[in-house]
Chains A and B, each alone.
Chain A
Amino acid sequence: GAVVSQHPSRVICKSGTSVKIECRSLDFQATTMFWYRQFPKQSLMLMATSNEGSKATYEQGVEKDKFLINHASLTLSTLTVTSAHPEDSSFYICSARGGQAGNTIYFGEGSWLTVV
């Protein structure tokens, strides 16, 4: 079946640095991918919709200059957290729409980011 792979699964970075998280659809093409953030014991909050070949669409309250999204190919979207701060520490997870008529949402394994 379709698989969405996320990398890295865990990353620790220093405050002020940037970190990139990759989301790949392994056996299907995903023109649209979604990026979510989840704080402990809270639900998934949609950050942005990533569109292949065009600019991402950000949800209200999400800083597009801080969370850079690049969807350069039909199988890869990246999220870069720039100038990371400890409050950016969270579980970041991507999803891609696939299946028949695009009605199936596949999730990546998620990436734990810790900013120290």
Chain B
Amino acid sequence: GQNIDQPTEMTATEGAIVQINCTYQTSGFNGLFWYQQHAGEAPTFLSYNVLDGLEEKGRFSSFLSRSKGYSYLLLKELQMKDSASYLCAVKIAGGYNKLIFGAGTRLAVHP
């Protein structure tokens, strides 16, 4: 089976740093994605990791450890507009490389 876990909710203060963790146990792994989703809208791509290590893109960074089945998304200099759901998704190797999503983490940024 496929199991992707992330915290349900997190809160943080504007200007601060927040780390959203994701652990996965899947039958086959071919990369991990992070998406941002505002309510009622389509997910927006944030990052993609296929090799171990840190990928940095502006205020967002994502880390992957394949041996530990672990990833995190780091958001720096938080802004109010960062309040959204953050979805961890694993691309399952084989077949059609389908993308399986975790339940998502709802982040609330307050002043």
Residues of A within 8 A of B (CB): 32, 34, 36, 41-46, 49, 51, 57, 91, 93, 95, 97, 102-105, 107-110, 112
Interface residues on B, range: 20 to 34
The answer to whether B33 has its CB under 8 Å from any CB of chain A is: yes
Quick one: which of A34, A57, A110, A112 contacts B99, CB cutoff 8 A? A34
Can you name 11 extra interface pairs (CB under 8 A) apart from A44-B87, A51-B96, A109-B41? A34-B99, A36-B101, A42-B103, A43-B85, A43-B103, A46-B99, A49-B95, A93-B42, A93-B43, A105-B45, A110-B42
**In B52-111, which residues have CB < 8 Å from any A CB?**
85, 87, 95-104, 106
B99-A43 in contact (CB<8A): no
The residue that B42 contacts in the complex, of A57, A102, A103, A108, with Cβ under 8 A, is A108
Shortest A76–chain B CB gap in Å is: 17
Chain B residues close to A by CB (< 8 Å): 31, 33, 40-43, 45, 48, 85, 87, 95-104, 106
Sampled A-B contacts (30; CB under 8 Å)? A32-B96, A32-B97, A34-B96, A34-B98, A34-B99, A36-B101, A42-B104, A43-B85, A43-B87, A43-B101, A43-B104, A44-B101, A45-B101, A46-B100, A46-B101, A49-B95, A51-B96, A57-B96, A95-B99, A102-B97, A103-B31, A103-B48, A105-B45, A105-B99, A107-B42, A107-B43, A108-B42, A109-B41, A110-B40, A112-B40
